A = this chain, B = another copy of it.
Amino acid sequence: MTITITAFERSPDGGKGLARDTRVRWALEEAGQPYEVRLVSFAAMKQPTHLALHPFGQIPTYEEGDLAMFETGAIVLHIAARHAGLLPDDACARARAITWMFAALNTVEPPILDLVTARILEADKPWARQRLPLVIDRIRDRLGQLSARLGDADWLDGAFSAGDLMMVSVLLRLRASGILDEFPDLAAYVARGEARPAYRRAFEAQLAVNTGKAPTA
């Protein structure tokens, strides 16, 4: 059955790989699954056809035969659970890898998204500059805890898993801010993720959409 995902017709990041379709593309590349992409404009995302697929009017979505899903975390978990390469076989190790997926999305990403709120959505507000240090300190607290847990390991719990895929994807949002560089072990962890051939293919594929060029890979 053909897998079809949706992605921005034109990503707000211009192709830096921060739009969430990159996470799903990466998971599909790790799993060795071909997929098709349907591009959606901002206007179309708020129309009934897309809202039927995604009630919050966002991307990505995932369609495969009778199945239609939204939410990046759920889609990546679905791919990881059905194909080899993203979750360990051992039941306990599998549960821990899924734990890291949720930790990335629920514990590490929220303060990072708040930086987007502070810097972009509220950039023109009178409190923008004064509030920023608070937001950044919350991120530093989380990164300090994550760094302490990662220690000298390459990945968060044994071999690379969907948990690492999600954590690297979340941390990538911080690169432009320079905050990641305050934690060299986490910067190296992110670089290991980016160096994976499956990530490169996913990145190039989303870049090609956003530049209108063919993949360079």
Binding site for B on A (CB under 8 A): 51, 55-58, 66-74, 77-78, 91-92, 95-96, 98-99, 101-103, 105-107, 109-110, 113-114, 117, 122, 125-127, 130-131, 134, 142, 145-146, 148-149
Contacts and interface: CB of A to CB of B under 8 A. Distances in A.
A99 B71 contact: yes
B70 A99 contact: yes
Contacts of A142: 56
Contacts of A109: 106
The binding surface of chain A is classed by DSSP as helix
A143 to B, nearest CB: 11
A102 B57 contact: no
B55 A74 contact: no
How many copies make up the complex? 2
Contact of A103 (B71, B91, B145): B71
A122 B134 contact: yes
Contacts of A131: 122, 125, 127
Contacts of A96: 67-69
Nearest to A135: B117
A122 to B, nearest CB: 7
Contact of A56 (B68, B107, B122): B107
B67 A92 contact: yes
Contacts of A98: 74, 77-78
A110 B107 CA distance: 10
Which 4 A-B residue pairs are closest in the complex by CB-CB distance? A127-B127, A55-B149, A71-B102, A73-B102
Contact of A105 (B56, B102, B134): B102
Contact of A74 (B67, B95, B148): B95
Nearest to A103: B71
15 contacts: A51-B148, A55-B103, A55-B145, A66-B92, A67-B92, A67-B95, A71-B106, A73-B102, A78-B95, A102-B105, A105-B106, A106-B109, A122-B131, A127-B127, A127-B131
